[in-house]
Amino acid sequence: MHDLLIYNSLSNKKEVFKPIKEGYVGMYVCGPTVYSNVHLGNVRTFMSFDMVFRYFLHLGYKVRYVRNITDAGHLTDDSEEDKISTKARLEQLEPMEIVQKYTTDFHLILQKFNFLPPSIEPTATGHIVEQIKAIELILENGLAYEVNGSVYFDVLKYNEKEHYGILSKRKIEDAIENTRVLDGQSDKKNPQDFALWKKAEPEHIQRWDSPWGVGFPGWHLECTVMSTKYLGEEFDIHGGGMDLKFPHHECEIAQAQACNHRAPVKYWMHGNMLTMNGKKMAKSTGNNILPEEIFTGENDNISKPYTPSVARFFMMQAHYRSVLDFSNDAIMASEKGFGRLMDALTIVTSVKASEKSTLDVSAWKAKCYEAMNDDFNTPVLIANLFEGVKWINLLKENQESLTQEDLDLLKETMHIFI
Ligand code: AMP
Ligand code: ZN
């Protein structure tokens, strides 16, 4: 078996995967913010990591896969409002009703796509105590300051010894220049500082007591606290969508460094975006399609319904680090291709074995693994599987032949990857 190469966003290179503990993988992936239904773009990111999770399991690793639920603290980009509290106020529901509704929806959708459940699915609200402890530690280490009931991470101070921008490859000067000064941010010493704890205004419904008064934790902190709690101060893989690299993951690194004086993650993996009509699928812009609409066909961007398997196959035909554009034509083509694969699996059951093999099945199998070992290259894997389909059709017509052993190997390999 060849080495498994993973593209590490920290080094911007493919690196040989070496687990911290032989035989074990610790992987953390940022989960959804449960204030609305997940769209197909969100699903793409989680699907990429479901594929990664499955491949590690297939290789025989014991994997602890942690994927959180953000049920507090995620502030909107254009204001300092918490997404869940805002939605709760608008819909006149308890924040926990919003959280419950969309967590249930998330689980239902992932079940339809046949995702493996993560080993641990922690919530931000379930880890307030740990977050407060982490803030106390960062304050003690002199890398945060309290103003008027809120606590902010001191980015400039941190950057004196560490590199704020190590992941996103930003220079601190650019961060300073690009940070917009927003209303209500005047408490900060510097605009690029980020909130570890926010004072809750009277209308803010999700609120907890803390040494700094009543408030709520900042979004970035939950992932630092929950990843290191369940996977250790240093763990193997941290994943998420490309759009989370900055500021979210950059802040996660800074917080973990500030707490534990070490880099938290060995391999950072970032999935690329699903687009539609050339633009990023996003909740906020309305340019998105919901999984349920794919299954029912009820969306103007598609002409008919598609099954979850076809949608998964469509996504896997692109490499997880490439942008993928969703369109009716593209998913229809995937449906055809997927049908050919499925047909081949049926046809192969009636192929008879011969005395000798005219095809090199072992070399073909090795090529399938090579593709996966090359940074989970599913499009190349799928091209190999189609080579298998071609062979199966030739075998059926007696234009090629395989021994029983090779025939079994061909079937077995097709079944591993489909
Ligand atoms: P959110 O609920 O907004 O925090 O997003 C949950 C996950 O979905 C994050 O890992 C995002 O990076 C990812 N995500 C959001 N939009 C897209 C998109 N258009 N394509 C792929 N992943 C996305
Ligand atoms: Zn996160």
**Ligand 1 centre from 167 Cα, in Å?**
18
Report which of 373, 387, 313 is spatially closest to residue 44, judged by C-alpha positions.
Answer: 313
For 127-133, the CB contacts below 8 A with 24+ separation are 127/222, 127/225, 127/226, 127/229, 128/208, 128/217, 130/225, 130/226, 130/229, 131/196, 131/197, 131/217, 131/221, 131/222, 131/225, 132/197, 132/210, 132/211, 132/217
**Ligand 1 centre from 41 Cα, in Å?**
6
How far from the centroid of its chain's Cα atoms is residue 409's Cα? 33
pLDDT tens per residue across all 418 residues of the chain: 689 999 999 999 999 999 999 999 999 999 999 999 999 999 999 999 999 999 999 999 999 999 999 998 776 655 567 888 888 888 899 989 999 999 999 999 999 999 999 999 999 999 999 999 999 999 999 999 999 999 999 999 999 999 999 999 998 877 666 655 544 556 899 999 999 999 998 888 889 999 999 999 998 999 999 999 999 999 999 999 999 999 999 999 999 999 999 999 999 999 999 999 899 999 889 999 999 999 999 999 999 999 999 999 999 999 999 999 999 999 999 999 999 999 999 999 999 999 999 999 999 999 999 999 999 999 999 999 999 999 999 999 999 999 999 999 999 999 999 9
Can you name the residues that pair with 237 across neighbouring β-strands?
27, 267
Distance CA 281, CA 270 (A): 16
Give me Rg for the CA atoms of the chain.
24
Buried b (16+ CB within 10 A) or exposed e, 40-72: bbbbbbbbbbbbbbebbeebebebbbbbbbbbb
Angle between helices 378-396 and 308-316 (to 10 degrees): 110
Token pair belonging to 207: 């609120």
Which of the ligands is closest to the CA of residue 223? 2
3-state secondary structure of 152: strand
**Distances, alpha carbon 315 to alpha carbons 31, 207, 387, 389, in Å:** 19, 39, 20, 20
3-state secondary structure of 216: strand
Token pair belonging to 383: 């091209």
Out of 42, 105, 168, 276, mutate this one to test ligand 1's pocket (max ligand atoms within 8 Å of CB): namely: 42
Distance CA 282, CA 384 (A): 33
Pocket of ligand 1 from Cβ distances under 6 Å: 30, 32-33, 41-42, 44-45, 240-241, 243-244, 273-274, 280-282
Report which of 197, 262, 193, 196 is spatially closest to residue 228, judged by C-alpha positions.
Answer: 262
Distance CA 390, CA 393 (A): 5
DSSP 245: I
3-state secondary structure of 62: strand
pTM for the structure as a whole: 0.96
Which of the ligands is closest to the CA of residue 83? 1
Nearest CA to ligand 1 atom 18: 41
Nearest CA to ligand 1 atom 2: 32
Among the atoms of ligand 1, which is closest to the Cα of residue 29?
A: 10
